[in-house]
């Protein structure tokens, strides 16, 4: 309950406050958001499977965000930032889709 | 008893104020906040702010090339406009008009006026022939005459003289008779002096028994003109 409300609260806060993303963060933030979404969907899947653990969620959330941002940062340093961030997004999107498929199986039994 | 998915969701949605719930909730707040912020940054600042260095370089390169092309175009158009505006065209027209005016005087296609000399040769016996008149014209030209008229016939660069069949002189095929009134525009005193030189025109006229009189005048008018004729063979090179 609290996490769902928290997500809603965050969206409302963002709309109201209109935060300006710092320049140095701008290449990494979209990737970090996608990584965090992957963690959230993974957590929901775990919840439906009955294996959800807060600790696992926190660790996977943070590690997803940090690793995704770091990979993009590394790619930028190596001069392949655009390609590498595309790759990261593809991988994360694939994970999100597989999580969604698992959730769908749990909810609709199909 | 194994829980169904519905039960698990219901349990999860039940508000529990545990510390872990608060941590997870806080992270979700952060996620929503950052997500909306990123979306809005993309909306407001467009592509450039989030573009990578290599992409920016590509964009900059494109813009530089495009600017070079546009600057070249601007340069061409500006110089064209300057030529049209600066009055150089008007100057050319004015210069051309001046040249046309000067050449018209020389070609004898316009009436002219100015200081000059009027010569009157009375020849009742018909002894003055075309060579004397030709000498007179040549002397006047040497003395700086810019326009010459004989009895209402304009003398120009291709004028020719011949003796008349019975009497008088043929100028360009038209016979004029005594008295011959020769009007020349130029420096009157210089031309008068040229007429008077020993063995010159005045002496020659007097020698054959005709009467020569020259008057320097401040303002004479030559109304006669010739029709300019189009050259048949010669073409201008510029």
Count up the domains in chain B and report the number.
2
**Tokens 């909730």 -> residue:** B25
Q: Number of folded domains in chain A?
A: 1
The C-alpha atoms of residue A107 and residue B13 are separated, in whole angstroms, by 15
For residue B124, say if its preceding peptide bond is cis, omega within 30 degrees of 0.
no
- Flag whether A4 is in a domain: no
Which chain B residues touch A48 with a CB distance below 8 Å? 5, 8-9
Residue B43 pLDDT class (50, 70, 90 cuts): low
- Number of separate helices (H) and strands (E) present in chain B: 7, 8
- The overall average pLDDT reported for chain B is 85
The answer as to whether B140 is a domain residue is yes
Residue B231 lies inside a defined structural domain of this protein = no
- On whether both B140 and B108 belong to a single domain, the answer is yes
CA dist., res. B238 & res. B230, Å (int): 16
B68 lies in which domain range? Answer: 51-81
Position B10 scores a pLDDT of 73
Alpha-carbon gap: B63 to the closest alpha carbon of chain A (Å): 21
In a domain, B104, yes or no: yes
CB contact under 8 A, B22 and A2: yes
CB pairs under 8 A between A and B: 128
Q: What is the pLDDT of residue B2?
A: 60
Is ipTM over 0.85?
no
- Report if residue A91 sits inside a domain: yes
Contact between B21 and A2 (Cβ < 8 Å) = yes
Contacts B54 to A, Cβ<8 Å: 79, 81-82
Residue A15 is assigned to a structural domain of this protein: no
Decide if pLDDT at B212 tops 80: yes
């Amino acid at each position: 309950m609290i996490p769902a409300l928290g997500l809603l609260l965050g969206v409302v806060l963002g709309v109201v406050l209109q935060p300006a993303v710092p320049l140095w963060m701008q290449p990494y933030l979209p990737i970090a958001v996608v990584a965090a979404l992957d963690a959230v969907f993974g957590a929901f899947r775990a919840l439906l499977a009955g294996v959800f653990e807060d600790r696992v969620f926190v660790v996977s959330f943070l590690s997803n965000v940090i690793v995704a941002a770091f990979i993009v940062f590394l790619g930028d340093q190596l001069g392949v930032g655009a390609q590498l961030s595309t790759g990261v997004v593809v991988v994360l999107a694939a994970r999100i889709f597989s999580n969604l498929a698992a959730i769908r199986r749990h909810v609709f039994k199909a | 008893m194994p829980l169904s998915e519905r039960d698990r969701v219901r349990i999860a949605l039940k508000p529990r104020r545990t510390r872990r719930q608060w941590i997870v909730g806080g992270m979700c707040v952060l996620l929503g906040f950052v997500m909306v912020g990123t979306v809005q940054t993309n909306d407001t600042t467009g592509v450039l702010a989030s573009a990578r260095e290599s992409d920016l370089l590509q964009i900059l390169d494109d813009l530089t090339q495009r600017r070079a092309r546009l600057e070249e175009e601007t340069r061409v158009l500006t110089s064209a406009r300057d030529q049209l505006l600066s009055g150089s065209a008007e100057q050319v027209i004015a210069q051309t008009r001046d040249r046309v005016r000067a050449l018209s005087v020389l070609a004898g296609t316009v009436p002219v006026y100015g200081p000059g000399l009027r010569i009157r040769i009375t020849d009742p016996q018909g002894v003055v022939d075309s060579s004397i008149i030709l000498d007179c014209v040549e002397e006047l030209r040497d003395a700086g005459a810019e326009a010459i008229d004989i009895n209402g016939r304009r003398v120009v660069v291709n004028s020719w003289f011949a003796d008349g069949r019975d009497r008088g002189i043929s100028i360009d095929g038209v016979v004029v008779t005594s008295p011959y009134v020769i009007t020349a525009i130029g420096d009157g005193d210089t031309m008068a002096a040229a007429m008077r030189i020993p063995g010159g025109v005045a002496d020659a006229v007097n020698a054959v028994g005709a009467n020569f009189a020259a008057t320097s005048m401040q303002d004479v008018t030559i109304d006669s003109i010739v029709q300019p004729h189009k050259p048949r063979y010669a073409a201008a090179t510029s």
